[in-house]
Amino acid sequence: LDTDAGSRYVGEIAVGTNPGITKFSKNMLFDEKIGGTVHLALGRSIPMSFGKNESAIHWDMLCDMRQGGEI
């Protein structure tokens, strides 16, 4: 997290909405779309989603909320 000034900032927050994906694949680009998950990334924002944070890192974290979790 000490890579650069932007590495400690939230770069992305998303909620997975695809009920057709039911199992984790170990590929974050698919897993972050699983319905009932919450996804947070520290570091670089995605420019095509109008993010402004710049960093050398984009660290994805995923929480599975399907077993009774709440936001």
Q: Provide the residue-wise pLDDT of the chain in tens; the chain has 71 residues.
A: 889 999 999 999 999 999 999 999 999 999 999 999 999 999 999 888 888 999 999 999 999 999 988 77
C-alpha dihedral sign at 23, 34, 62, 37: negative
**Does 19 reside within a domain?**
yes
Rounded CA separation 17/25 (Å): 16
In this prediction the pTM is 0.79
**Does 4 reside within a domain?**
no
Burial of 51 (0-12, 13-18, 19+ CB in 10 A): middle
**Does 50 reside within a domain?**
yes
- Number of independent structural domains in the chain: 1
**Does 22 reside within a domain?**
yes
**Does 51 reside within a domain?**
yes
pLDDT at 60: 94
* Beta strand residue intervals within 4-71, DSSP E: 10-15, 37-43, 58-64
pLDDT at 12: 94
**Does 59 reside within a domain?**
yes
Segments forming the whole domain that contains residue 27 = 10-64
pLDDT at 45: 94
**Does 69 reside within a domain?**
no
pLDDT at 28: 92
